[in-house]
């Protein structure tokens, strides 16, 4: 079955370290997205990519970076510049080149040691 | 700017009860409206959507009607099951703009 795979499910980071979250999809979707979810809040868009080798900042891009070298992969790096990185991170994708994700991964929970 | 407001949770119901989760929005023009569901430990799934006024989205026994006059998109189900326990998110998009989510409503169904 096609879908989105995020790994790892749980991730721990020491302060001052960069960490990369993996997102792979085999749905042949053009667009991919990264969202951050905090307790009691809705999702906030970090970055999105509508096509390979192109991506745009979302609402909360500071302290994060992405790449889109392959259609099926959209890794997110949480840098040391992100002051409050503890959150649940969700990757998503969609068939159209618009803002509406149709499929989500199961998420990665990032915690700071 | 665009925004979405959902009813405060958590919501706790007994099995077979009627469910309503309120959602209202603020936007210029005619946004598209969505409900997503997040089961424990998982990502979100698109539950249903409506793209124009008076449209009714439906899926898995859930329904929501796009009401332009009241700027609402309330989620309803006639008889809930324990397996419906999840967090429900209302969201909107407009043109080429990004998706805007409500804060989510946690639903717990007791047997």
- In tens, the pLDDT along B29-76 reads 889 999 999 998 888 888 999 999 999 999 999 999 999 999 999 999
Note the pLDDT tens digit of each residue in A20-69.
999 999 999 999 999 999 987 788 999 999 899 999 999 899 999 999 99
Of the candidates B110, B81, B108, B91, the residue with the CA atom closest to the CA atom of residue B32: B91
A56 and B CB contact within 8 Å: no
Interchain proximity A48–B99, CB inside 8 Å = no
CB pairs under 8 A between A and B: 54
First CA to last CA across chain B, in angstroms?
A: 41
A45 and B CB contact within 8 Å: yes
Interface test with A, best of B7, B43, B48, B51 (most A CBs within 10 A): B43
Of the candidates B20, B38, B102, the residue with the CA atom closest to the CA atom of residue A40: B102
């Amino acid at each position: 079955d096609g879908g989105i795979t995020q790994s790892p499910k749980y991730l721990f980071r020491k302060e001052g370290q960069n960490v990369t979250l993996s997102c792979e999809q085999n749905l042949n979707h053009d667009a991919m997205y990264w969202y951050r979810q905090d307790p009691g809040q809705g999702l906030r868009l970090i970055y999105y990519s509508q096509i390979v080798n192109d991506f745009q900042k979302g609402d909360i891009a500071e302290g994060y970076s992405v790449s889109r070298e392959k259609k099926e992969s959209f890794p997110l790096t949480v840098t040391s510049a992100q002051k409050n990185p503890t959150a649940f991170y969700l990757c998503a994708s969609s068939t159209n080149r618009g803002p509406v994700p149709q499929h989500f991964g199961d998420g990665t929970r990032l915690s700071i040691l | 700017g665009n925004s979405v407001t959902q009813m405060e949770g958590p919501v706790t119901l007994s099995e077979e009860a009627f469910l309503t989760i309120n959602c209202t929005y603020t936007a210029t023009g005619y946004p598209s409206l969505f409900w997503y569901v997040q089961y424990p430990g998982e990502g979100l799934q698109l539950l249903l959507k409506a793209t124009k006024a008076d449209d009714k989205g439906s899926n898995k026994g859930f329904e929501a009607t796009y009401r332009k006059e009241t700027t609402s998109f309330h989620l309803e189900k006639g008889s809930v099951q324990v397996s419906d326990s999840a967090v429900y998110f209302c969201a909107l998009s407009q043109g080429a703009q990004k998706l805007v989510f409500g804060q989510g409503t946690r639903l717990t169904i007791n047997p």
